[in-house]
């Protein structure tokens, strides 16, 4: 229980982009916050929930430059809480899914700062859905594996990942070629349907659909950038059977006409 005047940190998931995918709890905490510490994957409209006099601190990448060091983010959170402020640490998606939220929670724990985690909608589920891809399907896939292509230390277990019925790979954007090569070398058929979704649920969402064997080439041709997710598995073929979703009936900020590039399956 939070005591009067005591600083407190909420590690809050901001969802995948579309501001309407923010939870009601996140919106309320933002309205009450004295300080909001946010990063690159948070839609600007989400920050409009904050009070006009709240202090906004940006800790994301600037123009592709160096990230703010994780230790410096911990220092900011702890310092703001120790001033007796109510701090919302806003993170893209869910704070505990590939978001270093656990490291922030540990730092707060060790500093004796009271905190809690407010889950958010992870891009891993919301972004494929927004592109017309159900991550599970009774006939096509009874499991989904979330992984990151960017691992510090040991490399991913490609043989395990190559066997996943539905594979959702985070942070695959800038190393798509190596990722695809690794999956195919580990036994995944190059003819498997695959899609790269860039900026899923944002106004400028883009989807490139191809086979696993062609997806890296197609994504490069379309100059797909970050943030992007790679989805591999038969479920990707559902896009062609859900044209109403793919045509923009799905959840995307502003519901614009989506930009879609389709490459023929082998
Ligand atoms: C540091 S991880 C954060 C994941 C986040 N905590 C979550 O639960 O969605 C960043 C990666 O998430 C993926 N990502 C996040 N938002 C995305 C979006 N709107 N569209 C596509 N990929 C996204 C990308 O792979 C990006 O490189």
pLDDT tens by residue, the chain, 266 residues: 556 678 999 999 999 999 999 999 999 999 999 999 999 889 999 999 999 999 999 998 654 456 789 999 999 999 999 999 999 999 999 999 998 999 999 999 999 999 999 999 999 999 999 999 999 999 999 999 999 987 777 889 999 999 999 999 998 777 899 999 999 999 999 999 999 999 999 999 999 999 999 999 999 999 999 999 999 999 999 998 888 877 654 445 554 444 445 444 33
Nearest-CA neighbor of 114 among 154, 82, 143, 158?
A: 82
Angle at 147 between CA 144 and CA 220, to 5 degrees: 105
pLDDT given for residue 263 in this prediction = 47
User: 99 in ligand 1 pocket by Cβ < 6 Å?
Assistant: yes
> How far is Cα 261 from Cα 242, in angstroms, rounded to an integer?
16
User: Does the N-terminal peptide bond of residue 227 adopt cis geometry, omega within 30 degrees of 0?
Assistant: yes
User: 101 in ligand 1 pocket by Cβ < 6 Å?
Assistant: no
Nearest-CA residue for atom 1 of ligand 1: 99
Question: Is 82 considered catalytic here?
Answer: no
User: What is the Å distance from ligand 1's center to 93 Cα?
Assistant: 7
Question: Is 61 considered catalytic here?
Answer: yes
Six-digit token pair at 179? 């990722």
Indicate which residue of 34, 39, 86, 252 is catalytic.
39
Within 8 A by CB and 6+ apart from 164, the residues are: 143, 144, 145, 147, 232, 233
**118 phi and psi angles, rounded to 5 deg:** -115, 105
Which value, in Å, is the radius of gyration of the alpha carbons in the chain? 19
Nearest-CA residue for atom 12 of ligand 1: 170
Six-digit token pair at 17? 């982009």
Coil, helix or strand at residue 58: strand
DSSP for 169-201, please give it: EET-GGGHHHHHHHHHHTT--TTSEEEEEESTT
> How far is Cα 194 from Cα 54, in angstroms, rounded to an integer?
43
Enter the pTM of the model: 0.90
Question: From its phi and psi, is residue 38 left (phi > 0), alpha (psi between -120 and 50) or beta?
Answer: beta
Quick check: 25 and 42 in contact, CB under 8 A?
Answer: no
> How far is Cα 27 from Cα 254, in angstroms, rounded to an integer?
19
**What number does the ligand 1 atom closest to the CA of 96 have?**
6
User: 258 in ligand 1 pocket by Cβ < 6 Å?
Assistant: no
**What number does the ligand 1 atom closest to the CA of 201 have?**
19
Coil, helix or strand at residue 205: coil
User: What is the Å distance from ligand 1's center to 33 Cα?
Assistant: 24
pLDDT given for residue 245 in this prediction = 77
């Amino acid at each position: 229980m939070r005591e009067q005047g005591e600083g407190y940190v909420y590690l809050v998931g901001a969802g995948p982009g579309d501001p309407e995918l923010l939870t009601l709890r996140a919106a309320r905490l933002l309205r009450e916050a004295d300080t909001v510490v946010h990063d690159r994957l948070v839609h600007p409209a989400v920050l409009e929930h904050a009070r006009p006099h709240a202090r906004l601190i940006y800790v994301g990448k600037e123009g592709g430059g160096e990230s703010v060091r994780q230790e410096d983010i911990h220092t900011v959170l702890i310092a703001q809480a120790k001033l007796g402020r109510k701090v919302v640490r806003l993170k893209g998606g869910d704070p505990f899914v590939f978001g270093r939220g656990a490291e922030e929670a540990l730092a707060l724990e060790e500093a004796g700062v009271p905190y809690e985690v407010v889950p958010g909608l992870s891009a891993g589920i919301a972004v494929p859905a927004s592109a017309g891809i159900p991550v599970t399907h009774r006939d096509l896939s009874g499991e989904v594996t979330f992984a990151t292509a960017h691992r510090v230390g040991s490399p991913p277990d490609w043989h395990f990942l190559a066997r996943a019925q539905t594979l959702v790979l985070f942070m695959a954007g800038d190393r798509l070629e190596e990722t695809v090569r690794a999956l195919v070398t580990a036994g995944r058929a190059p003819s498997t349907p695959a899609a790269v979704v860039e900026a899923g649920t944002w106004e400028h969402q883009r989807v490139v659909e191809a086979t696993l064997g062609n997806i890296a080439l197609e994504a490069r041709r379309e100059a797909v950038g970050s943030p992007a997710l790679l989805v591999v598995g038969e479920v990707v073929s559902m896009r062609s059977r859900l044209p109403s979703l793919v045509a923009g009936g799905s959840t995307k900020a502003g519901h614009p006409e989506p930009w879609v590039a389709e490459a023929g399956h082998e």
